[in-house]
Amino acid sequence: MDMYQYEQKFGKGEMHAGFKDRQLRALGIEIISAGVETTSAHLSWCLHLYTYYSEHQAALEKEISKVFGARGAVTQAHKPQTPFLNAFIQEVFRITSVAPMLLKRSADHSGKLMGYDIPAGTTIIPNFHAVHMDPTIWPEPEKFDPYRHIDKEGKFVHSHKIIPFSIGPRSCPGEQLARVEVYIYFAKLLQKYKILPGDQPPHIDGITSVVHFPKPYEFRIKQR
């Protein structure tokens, strides 16, 4: 945004004419919605699925206690030591699809995809939810199973077929920051607090607009 304002003030030529205040406001809204709402939704789902699938709580708590202790710092450098935490977060990315549909794109030239003719100018909307729930890639895709991302040696397996931030040159520029935030915040919450289901029965229903959030749910927090 600093560079945008620099171009507004000092830019010249035909390209400079497009740098309007209206577009700058739109970019500001996009930064807030894409940079805050999506990370918030991912963290909400992490906590929600942690309380719902209680069979995974002991493994997560044991790993976090072993690696970070009660008061240790949580950093990206610890990721190789936390395979199950990584697998749990990746499975949350897969099964929830926080951004199930990407913004519209337009084919800049004609082509053929999986037997279908795609004329130039065709509007294309990528469906990430369909990719993440494809049974030819993920056996029993409706099942929440972090162990599908753990190999026989107990190591975490990163998957390029889970694409919550899109792929290619127009993928989310905030992907690395978002991954860091989700990892550190979620690990720190589990390190410091015992998270328990609330009085209402847990559910896994979501609300989808631009971002896919869990419906309101309850949980109780107890400091460790």
| Residue 73 contacts residue 196 (beta carbons within 8 Å) | no
* Cβ atoms within 10 Å, residue 195: 15
Verdict on whether the full-model pTM lies above 0.85: no
Quick one: angle between helices 175-192 and 83-96, nearest 10? 120
* Cβ atoms within 10 Å, residue 64: 23
pLDDT in tens, 94-136: 999 988 887 788 899 999 988 999 999 999 888 999 999 999 9
| Residue 98 contacts residue 38 (beta carbons within 8 Å) | yes
Confidence of residue 197 (pLDDT cuts 50, 70, 90): confident
For position 160, what pLDDT does the model report? Answer: 94
* Cβ atoms within 10 Å, residue 142: 8
* Cβ atoms within 10 Å, residue 181: 17
pLDDT in tens, 29-56: 877 766 788 889 999 999 999 999 999 9
Confidence of residue 202 (pLDDT cuts 50, 70, 90): low
pLDDT exceeds cutoff 90 at 168? no
Amino acid type, 115: G
pLDDT exceeds cutoff 90 at 88? yes
Amino acid type, 36: V
User: Mean per-residue pLDDT for 62-75?
Assistant: 94
Name all contacts of 173-176 with Cβ < 8 Å and 24+ positions apart. Answer: 174/34, 174/35
d(CA 146, CA 94) in angstroms, rounded, equals 10
The residue ranking higher by pLDDT, 219 or 67, is 67
Domains and CATH numbers, the chain: 20-223 (1.10.630.10)
Average pLDDT, the chain: 90
Could you tell me the two tokens for 89?
Answer: 């977060």
For position 188, what pLDDT does the model report? Answer: 96
Confidence of residue 154 (pLDDT cuts 50, 70, 90): very high
